Amino acid sequence: MSAQLPGLFLTFEGGDGSGKSTQAALLEEWLLSQGRTVVRTREPGGTDVGNEIREIVLHRRGHIAPRAEALLYAADRAQHVSHVVRPALERGEIVLQDRYLDSSVAYQGVGRELEADEIRRLSLWAAEGLLPDVTVLLDLDVSIGRSRLDDARTRYDRLESEAAEFHSRVRDAYLALAAAEPARFLVLDAALPVEELAALVRARVSAALA
Ligand code: TYD
């Protein structure tokens, strides 16, 4: 199980429209069928304070300075780790989470050009140093992600509204993060069929649980 705590900490990362929530839902279903206790959660959000921060950071009108944005995500993460994630891992449960600190490194560090290393340090401080045991990166061509979103959304949030060039930087940043930590990351081609992806995710998680 976890290198740091009794539970297992699994995160899903990837661009907008890469299918993270679909895969997280399928994995949750499977883990429950195996009799596991699962806490399914997400960032931003996942706590009451986090949901208020989510409203600001995703939907507030007007410009938010990049550093303020990075600190809002970090504040959300600090509250979430302290109130939800760490307690569940201490109880020996499986935390299944949409987005975590790799999102901050990719979107704020590289997308907003705030320096990946500084954002990683800020995020680790906020998260009390807690890293996931397994991170599934759903890698997808930016234009495919965008067209999936176009089908699903009536309005875009602040980050989704960024230009294609921003999202390409985010994608490259994720791939670089995965290359730097191959033991933690499972990189999957998000254009594969949903069931095929789910089977690959299950195989990786089974190995982590063994
Ligand atoms: P959300 O709707 O939760 O995610 P998704 O688009 O994956 O369904 O939106 C969260 C947005 O916030 C998403 O565009 C990525 C962005 N984000 C950051 O920029 N930094 C972060 O640290 C996190 C957690 C998310």
**Atom nearest to 42 CA in ligand 1:** 3
CB distance 12 to ligand 1 below 6 Å = no
| CA of residue 158 to ligand 1 center, whole Å | 9
Q: What's the pLDDT score for residue 150?
A: 85
Q: What is the 3-state secondary structure (H, E, C) of 69-117?
A: HHHHHHHHHHHHHHHHHHHHHHCCCEEEEECCHHHHHHHHHHHCCCCHH
Q: Determine the atom of ligand 1 nearest the C-alpha atom of 16.
A: 6
Q: Kindly state the DSSP code that residue 188 receives in the 8-state scheme.
A: E
Residue 109: CB within 6 Å of ligand 1? no
Segments of the chain scoring below 50 in pLDDT: 1
Ligand 1 centre from 210 Cα, in Å? 31
Q: Whose CA is nearest to atom 22 of ligand 1?
A: 104
pTM of the model: 0.96
CATH T-level fold of 8-209: Rossmann fold (3.40.50)
pLDDT of residue 201: 98
Instruction: List the chain domain ranges.
Output: 8-209
Q: Is the CB of 107 under 6 A from ligand 1?
A: yes
